[in-house]
Structure formats: C-alpha cells, structure tokens
Amino acid sequence: MGTFRGRAAAVIGPLAACLAVALPAPARAGTTLTPGEIVVADARAFGGGALIAVDPTTGAETVISDNDMPVNADNQLFADPFVLTIDAAGDILVANTYNMGGSCSGGCGGVIRVDPATGAETVLSSNAMAINASSQYFNQPTGITIAPDGEILVSDWGGTDGLGKVIGVDPTTGKETLISSNAMPVNASSQYFDYAQGITTDAAGDIFVTDPMAFGTGGGIIEVNPTTGKETELSANGMAVNASSQYFHSPSQITTLPDGHLLVADWCETTACGAVVDVDPTTGKETLVSANSMPVNASSQYFDQPTAVAVDASDRIIEVQEAGLGGSCSGGCGGRVYVDPTTGAEQVLSANSLAVNADNQLYVEPFDAVVVPAAAGPAPPSGGSSAGGGTGAGSTPGATNALAPVISALAQSHSRWRERRGTVFSFTLSQAAQVTLTFARVRGARATTVGALTLAARAGANTLAFHGRLSRSRLLRHGRYEVMVTAAGAAPRAGPLRFTILARRS
C-alpha cells in the first residue's frame, strides 16, 4: 500500500533509491513563519526526516529543521516525522513515529515541538515522560491536529499492538489522555478503528479520523465524540448515499474546509486511482474534486501516491504526494501540486525537478503539509456544511476603525432546531480575521453568557455549522439563546441572532 505506516510500511515505493540523495541543506533565515508559506514534513529527507519550507509562489524549498543542524546536536529527535500542525504560538508540532522511549520496539512515537526560527527540536510529549507513567498511549502516531480548545489530538494506528486510538495531549505538560479506542466499553458495538490515519476536527470539537481499512473495501471516515469516545461511521463507499460515488481507495490525511466539509487525500499505489475527495459531514456523501482521470487533467496527470491536503487563503488545494514529480528518486521524488477546487485541474507547485530547486533538491518522500495562517497561531478548522436560507441581523451602531475587519450579512439557516441537530451561521468579512461567536442563554429580558467559539475566518463569505457544542465537554441544552459575532480588532459587533433549541424527542 505504500508508506502508510505499520502493516503496509514494508512496501515503500521509491524509498530505497532515494535515501542516498540527501543533499546539503540550504540555510534558512532565522525568522518566524510567513503567512501563506507552506511547511512540509518529509519523513525520509536527510535520513531521519526534516521539515521543509516551501515558497508558495516559486516552489523553492528550504530546510526549517533536521537532526543534522548544530542546534540539534544533543537532541536528534526526528525518526520518521510524518505529520505536523502549527500551534497558537506559531511553533510547529510534529508527530514522530519512533525513537521517543517507552516499551515499543525501536521506541514509541510522540510529539515534538520545533522552533521555526532556529529549527530546535524538543520533546513535547512521550511515553517516557514521568507524567505519563500511567498513561503510555503512544505507539506509532499517524495524524495530528489541534482542537478548538487548544488540546493536541493525535491519531495512532497502534503499531504492533494493533490498537488504534485517538490520544489527547496537554500542550503545556505533555500529559496523554485516551479519548477513543475500540477497547472502550462505549465502542463495544462500534469497533471501527483498523488502521487509523489522519485526524481533524470541526469548530465544535467533533473529531474525524480517516481509516483506509475500515468498513470493508476502500476504507472511510470515522467520527469520534470528543466527550465519550464513541466511534460512528461517517462516510464509506458502502453507504447508500455513495452508491454512485464510491471514490475511496485508501483515505490518508484529512482537513476541514471553511464550509465544514471534509477534504481527503486518497492514496493509491499507481497513478490510476489517487484522488482528492470532498465529504459532506452531514450525509457522508463523497464527491470527487480531482483525479488524473478527469478530462481537465488529460495533459497534467501529476497525482502519484497522494498523502495529504491543505488549503491556502485563496481556496487553492495543495496536494502532497510521495512520488512522481521528478528528481533523482526511482519513480520520481514527491512534491506539491496545486488543485483548482472548482475544476480539479492539477498544476505542479513544488518539486525537486523545478529549476528553482536545482541546488536544493530536498524532497525524498514528503507526506504532510500545512499552510501558515495569516493570523497568529493555527487556523482552527471551520465546522459546517452548506448553508441554507436564514434570517439576517444588522450590526450594532458605533464607531469603527476604517482598517479593521467589518462583519456583514450575519444570518442563520434555522432559528428553531432540536438538540444536536443544529443550524448554520453565515456571515461576510471584509478581510481575514479571528472571529469569536459569543453565546448567551436568554431568560426573560436577561441574557447570560454561557461560552464562545473562536475560528480563523477568511475575507468574503464564511459558514459555520453549529450543533450546540461549545467544547469537548460543553453542549448547549434546550432553551432560548442568542449569539453575537466579533472580529479581532473590529468594532462594532454583529448580532444578536436569536435561536431556540428544542428538546430531543424521546
């Protein structure tokens, strides 16, 4: 199957031919990450793996961190760093596959924090830490993301013990907490984890995990309740809604789009079946976004073992692949491909074969990538689905800063809905900004604040599906509520929108 870890890791395509191609790493200026810059995890570069920065305009590659850098002389931690994310401080968090202590053969995996300015690697969480003496859940991590409340979420396929799981990590202490596994009593009748891979969340904190071996042929997406750990089938080829849209072959990494849909890189060992697939989180419906077989790609069939996807501020999809883009690797080294989200057209973004990389052909087997957000810290995935019609609300009067973001066209799809059914909030933003939705319980003439959600919103139209969940442990019950929306640096607020949550039918 390629470089999915564990069971299939013995069938690594161009790896053997590429390991000897480690070239001297070009120096990168010691700066923080630049908005729009692409950060890539290549598990095989320079032997132990590396983080590579990619210029989104030219495709030029430069090294951010690897074990051979002098700053890491005493802590060469990288051992197959496959996946990554960016935290609120702008540091890069990497899920390392091996070599971080514990009882696993070759050392269990864990989470590494990387300073993007210096490249310094430090342990954030591992089984070997004293705080995890009774919570050694890492085996071989396969996915990483950050929940809306700041908790680090790691998917782990289980390695030799075969016990797939979702692990929560405290970003301050490194403490591991088991969020979900097949062994939990709540999953007695829903043991769906077979080969857990990518992980993402929506803005409410619900968790989605890709698994290429779940649900029979093609794999699928498992939804995980962040409070109970309950696993639910969210999307698979065998679902009735996908009778004519069975696009999954081996789902790899996953991300959440601003409209709440899920975007999946579907891996394939040949150029005939790799794809980017959109999934509706409400129905599980699969929609093909891009594949080599599409007529628009008749002369640009670049996909070769797709492993991950990311989305930039212009809505362009960035596909990560392990092979097929030239260079000295057998079968071609991997790289990045831009995908037009409307037409599915593929265009090479970054590869060793580009002239700009003639002196720094760094890619060996890239696996994951993130786009540095415009605002400080990670861009929390925006939950939701397509918005319906709704009732609008105006803005509160007041003076505004002409350079500050302006919220308009605030609306909701439903003003009355049953518990856990939900509504879709929509609004327009004059420029990209961090947006906060503050919720209050309404009793008579009094409104009492009960919580808030914060997300990174883009310039233009935004939607957010809201099912009543404010955090992993906070779910709004039936009653009357209102929501106000604010953008960082902006005044006035927009709203309020008022809605009623009805009690679930017994």
Regarding beta strands 416-418 and 494-502, do their DSSP bridges make them parallel or antiparallel, or are they unpaired? parallel
Note whether 256 and 228 are within 8 A (CB).
Answer: no
Nearest Cα to 36, choosing from 313, 259, 321? 313
Note whether 103 and 134 are within 8 A (CB).
Answer: no
Number of H helices, E strands in the chain: 1, 33
Assign 289 to helix, strand or coil: strand
Q: What is the pTM of this model?
A: 0.76
Say what the pLDDT of residue 7 is: 42
Same domain, yes or no, for 337 and 429? no
Assign 472 to helix, strand or coil: coil
> Is 107 among the domain residues?
yes
Domain of 329, CATH number, reads 2.120.10.30
Same domain, yes or no, for 21 and 122? yes
Say what the pLDDT of residue 401 is: 41
Q: How far apart are CA 366 and CA 43, in angstroms?
A: 6
Segment 115-122 shows an average pLDDT of: 94
Segment 42-59 shows an average pLDDT of: 88
Assigned token pair, 365: 């087997």
> Is 419 among the domain residues?
yes
Strands (E), 268-422: 275-279, 286-291, 306-311, 317-323, 333-339, 346-351, 366-371, 391-393, 407-412, 416-418
Domain of 396, CATH number, reads 2.60.40.1930
Same domain, yes or no, for 252 and 182? yes
Q: State the Cα torsion 346-349-350-356 to the nearest 10°.
A: 130
End-of-domain residue from the set 342, 371, 400: 371
Predicted confidence (pLDDT) at residue 474 exceeds the cutoff of 70:
yes
pLDDT in tens, 315-331: 888 888 877 777 766 66
DSSP secondary structure letter of residue 372: P
> Is 382 among the domain residues?
no
Same domain, yes or no, for 438 and 351? no
pLDDT in tens, 225-262: 999 999 999 999 999 999 999 999 999 999 999 888 99
- Which of 50-64, 101-115, 118-132, 259-273 ranks highest by mean pLDDT? 118-132
Same domain, yes or no, for 114 and 85? yes
> What residues form DSSP beta bridges with 475?
469
Say what the pLDDT of residue 136 is: 93
Range of the domain at 195: 6-29+38-371
Q: How far apart are CA 470 and CA 493, in angstroms?
A: 20
> Is 378 among the domain residues?
no
pLDDT in tens, 73-82: 998 999 999 9
Nearest Cα to 263, choosing from 273, 246, 275, 250? 275
pLDDT-based confidence at residue 160 (cuts at 50, 70, 90): low
End-of-domain residue from the set 311, 342, 371: 371
Place of tokens 């857990």: 196
Note whether 500 and 414 are within 8 A (CB).
Answer: no
Assign 132 to helix, strand or coil: helix
Same domain, yes or no, for 407 and 287? no
Nearest Cα to 34, choosing from 351, 358, 370? 370
Say what the pLDDT of residue 171 is: 95
Same domain, yes or no, for 291 and 409? no
DSSP secondary structure letter of residue 34: P
Contacts of 162 (CB under 8 A, 6+ apart): none
Predicted confidence (pLDDT) at residue 475 exceeds the cutoff of 70:
yes
Sign of the C-alpha dihedral computed for residues 276, 366, 211 and 312 taken in this order: negative
Say what the pLDDT of residue 421 is: 72
Nearest Cα to 301, choosing from 312, 290, 309, 310? 290
Segment 387-401 shows an average pLDDT of: 34
